[in-house]
Amino acid sequence: MMEEFQVAVVGAGPAGSTAAEVAALAGAKVVLIDRKSEIGTPVQCGGFLPEVHELKGLMPRARLPATLVEIPERCVLHRTSLQRIYPPSGRSKEFPVAARVVDRRAFDRHLASRAARAGSRVLPATRARLDSGRLLLSGRFSGSIAPQVIVGADGPSSDISRSMGNPKGEMGICIEYEMADVEIDAAAAEMYFSTRYAPGGYAWIIPIANDMAFVGVGVRASYLGRAKVPDLLDRFVKEHPQASGKLRRGEVLAVMRGLVPASGSVGSLQKEGLLLAGDAAGHVMATSGGGIPLAMVAGRIAGEVASEHLKGSAMLAEYPSRIRDAFGKELERSVRIKKMVEVAMHSDRLMDALLGALGPQQIKAVMRAQIPAAWPKVRDHSEEPSADDR
Ligand SMILES: Cc1cc2nc3c(=O)[nH]c(=O)nc-3n(C[C@H](O)[C@H](O)[C@H](O)COP(=O)(O)OP(=O)(O)OC[C@H]3O[C@@H](n4cnc5c(N)ncnc54)[C@H](O)[C@@H]3O)c2cc1C
């Protein structure tokens, strides 16, 4: 026989553990459920997390949870100070971005242990399935619970989001290696744009030590053609004109895969007793694929709204507007920018023209979902008839 819980959080990633901690600290009886046997494992992330002042530039109106501000050193693998962007031409541009690279295995366990210390019950190795307002649990812990509030923080393939009627939006398909013995610039996180290596997305090198890095590609299915994503990553490592010299002699220690929502917020964030937070809600910046900060801000708001609702001081229906106030504009703008660069994503010449026309600070602004006052007009002339054809 399962205990009674007021709030059930499905998914112990950054969104879910934050929601559980906040709701439990406010006095709610909370259960945090994850199907993973070991919370945080397997890792499906690069862990790139801008420092607090950068996050304030990214989401100026959001209240950052303390866990996003003070991250224990044991959860930080490395720090970078630069972001370097490689257009297809290889002529790179860089700008300062102070960032931590977190060890998601340690960080997710840290967040879940904080939720536990705040009073949440934690159920690993347990799958939750929504059935007529109840949660059916199976695995290590089994049974059925009927909490007043369910927070769906169950990641990019969220069943709870689907059950609320949200369609499956476009996803970035990612594969990432942890590599050792690479010859990288340990101060710089690098993004590489090219239709040959990362169609519809980008490839990245995120340093985790002086000679170690997460190296990945994130692509979109609609751009992929017949290419296979693992082959693209191998091609990037072995053949990319600028990256292969840094990576070719390295060794792969781990392979990680995962999906990243690429269409911005889902339409319905709240329905009856259900709230969605993090990847489950599409809370990922479409310009960068970064989702950790938004997931944690959304988790905080979900935990607050859930506990206030139990005390009678808020309605669950307030949740979507609180999310909009925190980072709605920035998230929407990131999707608009993604649409604006859609044409350039199909053509290396256009991507070169676009990134060539923007200065480093303007590229930084675009990554932060700010639209520059003068957006460069780039057109693909390759399909227009030339003077000879006329
Ligand atoms: C390869 C890759 C690299 C990335 N790199 C970065 C990066 O460098 N920086 C960044 O900011 N973002 C990055 N992201 C995105 C980032 O990982 C996500 O945005 C972030 O993890 C979202 O947190 P979340 O809590 O919403 O979801 P998740 O971290 O996905 O957690 C969801 C949890 O729900 C659990 N779950 C799912 N269904 C059930 C169920 N039915 N029952 C019980 N449990 C369930 C899962 O086991 C999982 O633990 C990357 C993503 C990928 C795939």
CA distances for 110 relative to 21, 97, 117, 209, angstroms: 11, 25, 10, 21
Mutate to test the pocket of ligand 1, among 18, 33, 35, 331 (most ligand atoms within 8 A of CB): 35
- As for how many domains the chain has, the answer is 3
DSSP state of 287: T
145 and 191 in a single domain? The answer is no
> What is the number of residues in the chain?
390
Query: Is residue 79 situated within a structural domain?
Result: no
Q: Which residues pair with residue 144 across a beta bridge?
A: 136
Write down the pLDDT at residue 371: 79
69 and 139 in a single domain? The answer is yes
Mutate to test the pocket of ligand 1, among 102, 191, 260, 276 (most ligand atoms within 8 A of CB): 260
Q: Which of these three, 261, 281, 300, is where a domain ends?
A: 261
271 and 304 in a single domain? The answer is yes
Query: Is residue 1 situated within a structural domain?
Result: no
DSSP state of 68: H
Distance 112 CA to ligand 1 centre (A): 14
Q: Order the strands of the 188-192 sheet from edge to edge.
A: 48-50, 93-102, 76-86, 188-192, 202-209, 212-220, 171-180, 251-261
53 and 160 in a single domain? The answer is yes
Write down the pLDDT at residue 388: 37
> How big, in percent rounded to 5, are the helix, strand and coil portions of the chain?
35, 25, 40
Cα separation, 316 vs 206, whole angstroms? 39
Tokens representing 292?
A: 């950790």
The reply to whether omega before 42 is within 30° of 0 (cis) is yes
Distance 376 CA to ligand 1 centre (A): 34
Q: Where residue 67 sits, what CATH number does that domain have?
A: 3.50.50.60
The number of the ligand 1 atom at minimal distance from the alpha carbon of 283 is 19
Q: What is the largest CA-CA distance in the chain?
A: 80
Distance 289 CA to ligand 1 centre (A): 12
| Closest residue to atom 12 of ligand 1, CA basis | 290
> What's the CA angle centered on 275, arms 270 and 279, to 5 degrees?
110
Query: Is residue 137 situated within a structural domain?
Result: yes
| Closest residue to atom 4 of ligand 1, CA basis | 45
Distance 276 CA to ligand 1 centre (A): 13
164 and 181 in a single domain? The answer is no
Q: What is the reported pTM?
A: 0.95
- Express each pLDDT in 48-62 by its tens digit: 999 999 999 999 999
In this prediction, the residues of the chain whose per-residue pLDDT falls under 70 are 1-2, 374-375, 377-390
Query: Is residue 96 situated within a structural domain?
Result: no
The number of the ligand 1 atom at minimal distance from the alpha carbon of 172 is 53
Cα separation, 201 vs 288, whole angstroms? 9
226 and 293 in a single domain? The answer is no
Domain that holds residue 179: 171-261
Cα separation, 128 vs 82, whole angstroms? 41
Cα separation, 200 vs 204, whole angstroms? 14
Write down the pLDDT at residue 2: 67
Cα separation, 49 vs 55, whole angstroms? 9
Distance 287 CA to ligand 1 centre (A): 17
The number of the ligand 1 atom at minimal distance from the alpha carbon of 279 is 26
For ligand 1, which residues put their CB under 6 angstroms from it?
Answer: 10-16, 33-36, 44-49, 127-128, 153-155, 159, 174, 176, 216, 256, 258, 260, 278-280, 284, 289-292, 295
Mutate to test the pocket of ligand 1, among 35, 45, 49, 220 (most ligand atoms within 8 A of CB): 45
Distance 160 CA to ligand 1 centre (A): 15
Query: Is residue 93 situated within a structural domain?
Result: no
Distance 136 CA to ligand 1 centre (A): 22
Distance 281 CA to ligand 1 centre (A): 11
Q: Where residue 241 sits, what CATH number does that domain have?
A: 3.30.9.10
27 and 55 in a single domain? The answer is yes
Write down the pLDDT at residue 378: 61
Q: Which of 225, 118, 174, 136 is nearest to 110 (CA)?
A: 118
Tokens representing 382?
A: 């390759």
Mutate to test the pocket of ligand 1, among 154, 256, 274 (most ligand atoms within 8 A of CB): 154
| Closest residue to atom 15 of ligand 1, CA basis | 291
128 and 12 in a single domain? The answer is yes
209 and 63 in a single domain? The answer is no
